[in-house]
């Protein structure tokens, strides 16, 4: 085995390994407190490589990307879920999509939902679309809890309102939650299959629409991966404008979540006021960037629009106004006895649990786990911005609320710093034709680390794009955080994590 340092602003090394080394390295990195970021597969039969399994693991701030040839007729790979629990659902999804098996304990389907027959694997290159070939008469084998007074409550998959579908099966005694089991995958849209048929430079529009609350983060990670494959040097001004968009997206979502948490906690006033702040914020997106949710702003090679002096002054003053209004609302939230009674101690995820389960992003930081790509592996311009990480150890709803407030203030500071020192020059470069075979991009989105990996067969137009949402790591956290709490507190706890359905399912 030989490691290859990939040409990327991230400290990424790649290596091809066999099954024994795949497992040995995973054991070593687990013992060194490494963290699995993503596990996925690709059909590389056109390149003569068979089916390939990939994993990205961060250990001691070094990024390791390992690839394993799993075979052709009966592809298999050594499981990682006994070491990294976050791998469990990814292993199940990998089999559902590609038919690559492992020796994991949980072999229940994750994404199939009776849409495909037992021999249909939609990410295989030779898969042909057609109507479902199985009937929907086999119930999903939820794990049941038995005992005196235990009963089950099924919530979903269809919910009231406009939220996306997910099934939550509660085992309870009275109102106390003994167990929660999730089943997701209802919004699977076949994004990876669609991207296979798109030119790499055109896929960013689709990537940016996977999850509308993280448009800039998804489009940015995709652009970084494509730029790596194409050996494209992005102009400095474009890099700074990307960071500006990511921080504005972070603030918009934190404002929306704070309002929703106030609503679930019984403070309708807070819901209205935070909603108003968010609405004004994203109206500015529409005026200056062409879309309230920043779609099509980040493109391979840079960004689609520049800012003039008038726009820069507007964005700077808006940060000042927003911070003042948010601090006033935080005083009201922190001083509201009824709201704090709902927040404090509710939905607690201990630091040890968060570390063991591989928590990322906001949820991890609220449980005392220091992880933020802007700090641990900063790409330009974050390498000179000195981002301050928000860290709390309570692990409850109150801690996740506190992290949101602090991140709003820090993002506003970063935005003003970016605006004050915005480099001059062009905002987009021509990416040209793909040259390399591997590309990886990563952005610290508002939920956590979003990763995009591109694998490309040399001298062909054949490529595979894998997009990984942080909710893969964090949905299982919710099953632990609710234990011992009451069923009526579930909406509040769930909202305090606010995990993605669309980003997770794709």
Query: What's the length of the chain?
Result: 506
Find the angle CA(74)-CA(75)-CA(78) to the nearest 5 degrees. Answer: 125
In angstroms, how far apart are the furthest CA atoms of the chain?
A: 70
The encoded tokens of residue 26 equal 């995973």
Strand partners, 64: 13, 57
Of 102, 130, 159, the last residue of a domain is 102
165 domain-assigned: no
The encoded tokens of residue 205 equal 């529009």
CATH number for 364: 1.10.645.10
pLDDT tens by residue, 254-263: 999 999 999 9
How far is the CA of 187 from the CAs of 29, 294, 505, in angstroms?
33, 22, 6
Tell whether 290 and 430 lie within a shared domain.
Answer: yes
Other CB atoms within a 10 A radius of the CB of residue 244 amount to 24
| Closest by CA position to 450, among listed 216, 230, 193, 237 | 216
CATH number for 89: 3.30.460.80
353 domain-assigned: yes
pLDDT on residue 132: 57
Q: How would you label 225-242 residue by residue, b for 16+ Cβ within 10 Å and e otherwise?
A: bbbbbbebebbbbbbbbb
CB 130 within 8 A of CB 150: no
The residue whose two tokens read 């949710």 is 293
pLDDT tens by residue, 69-105: 999 999 999 999 999 999 999 999 999 999 999 988 8
CB 501 within 8 A of CB 188: no
180 domain-assigned: no
221 domain-assigned: yes
Of 69, 102, 135, the last residue of a domain is 102
Pairwise CA distance, residues 313 & 305, whole Å: 16
Domains: count for the chain: 2
450 domain-assigned: yes
Q: Stretch 341-357: mean pLDDT, rounded?
A: 96
Phi-psi group of 395: left, alpha or beta (phi > 0 → left; psi -120 to 50 → alpha; rest → beta): left
What beta strand segments (E) does 160-260 contain? Answer: 167-173, 176-183
- What is the DSSP secondary-structure string of 282-342? HHHHHHHHSSTT-TT-EETTEES----HHHHHHHHHHHHHHHHHHHHHHHHHHH-HHHHHH
- The answer, yes or no, to whether residue 152 has pLDDT greater than 60, is yes
Q: How confident is the model at residue 119 (pLDDT cuts 50, 70, 90)?
A: confident
H/E run at residue 215: helix 215-230
Of residues 145 and 350, which shows the higher confidence score?
350
pTM, whole model, 2 decimals? 0.95
Of 47, 76, 102, the last residue of a domain is 102
314 domain-assigned: yes
Domain holding 77, by residue range, is 4-102
CB 114 within 8 A of CB 138: yes
């Amino acid at each position: 085995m030989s490691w290859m340092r990939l040409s990327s602003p991230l400290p990424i090394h790649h290596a091809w390994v066999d099954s024994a080394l795949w497992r040995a390295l995973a054991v070593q990195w687990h013992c060194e407190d490494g963290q699995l970021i993503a596990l996925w597969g690709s059909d590389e039969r056109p390149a003569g490589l068979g089916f390939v399994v990939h994993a990205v693991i961060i250990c001691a701030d070094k990024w390791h990307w390992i690839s394993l040839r799993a075979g052709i007729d009966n592809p298999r790979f050594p499981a990682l879920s006994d070491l990294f629990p976050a791998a469990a659902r990814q292993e199940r999804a990998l089999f559902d999509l590609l038919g690559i098996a492992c020796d994991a304990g949980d072999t229940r389907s994750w994404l199939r939902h009776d849409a495909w027959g037992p021999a249909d694997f939609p990410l295989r290159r030779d898969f042909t679309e057609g109507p479902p070939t199985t009937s929907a008469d086999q119930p999903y084998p939820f794990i049941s809890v038995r005992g005196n007074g235990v009963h089950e409550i099924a919530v979903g998959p269809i919910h009231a309102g406009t939220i996306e579908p997910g099934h939550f099966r509660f085992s309870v005694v009275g109102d106390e939650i003994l167990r929660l089991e999730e089943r997701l995958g209802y919004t699977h849209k076949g994004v990876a299959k669609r991207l296979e048929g798109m030119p790499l430079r055109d896929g960013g529009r689709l990537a940016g629409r996977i999850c509308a609350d993280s448009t800039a983060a998804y489009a940015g990670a995709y652009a970084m991966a494509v730029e790596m494959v194409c050996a494209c040097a992005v102009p400095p001004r474009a890099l700074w404008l990307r960071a500006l968009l990511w921080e504005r997206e972070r603030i918009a979502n934190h404002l929306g979540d704070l309002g929703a948490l106030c609503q679930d906690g019984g403070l309708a006033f807070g819901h209205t006021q935070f909603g108003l702040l968010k609405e004004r914020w994203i109206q500015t997106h529409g005026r200056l960037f062409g879309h309230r949710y920043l779609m099509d702003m980040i493109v391979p090679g840079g960004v689609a629009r520049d800012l003039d002096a008038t726009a820069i002054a507007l964005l700077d003053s808006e940060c000042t106004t927003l911070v003042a209004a948010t601090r006033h609302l935080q005083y009201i939230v922190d001083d509201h006895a009824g709201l704090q009674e709902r927040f404090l101690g509710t939905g607690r995820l201990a630091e040890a649990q968060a570390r063991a389960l591989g928590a990322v992003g906001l949820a991890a930081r609220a449980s005392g786990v220091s992880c933020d790509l802007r700090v641990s592996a900063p790409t330009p311009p974050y390498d000179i911005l000195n981002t301050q990480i928000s860290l709390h150890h309570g692990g409850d709803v109150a801690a996740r609320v506190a992290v949101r407030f602090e991140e709003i203030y820090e993002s506003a500071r970063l935005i003003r710093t970016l605006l004050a020192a915005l480099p001059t020059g062009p905002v987009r470069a021509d990416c040209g034709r793909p040259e390399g075979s591997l590309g990886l991009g990563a952005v610290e989105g508002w939920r956590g680390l979003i990763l995009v990996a591109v694998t490309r067969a040399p001298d062909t137009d054949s490529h595979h794009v894998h997009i990984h949402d942080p909710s893969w790591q964090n949905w299982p956290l919710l099953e632990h955080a609710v234990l011992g709490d009451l069923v009526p507190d579930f909406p509040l706890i769930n909202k305090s994590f606010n995990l993605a359905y669309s980003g997770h399912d794709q």
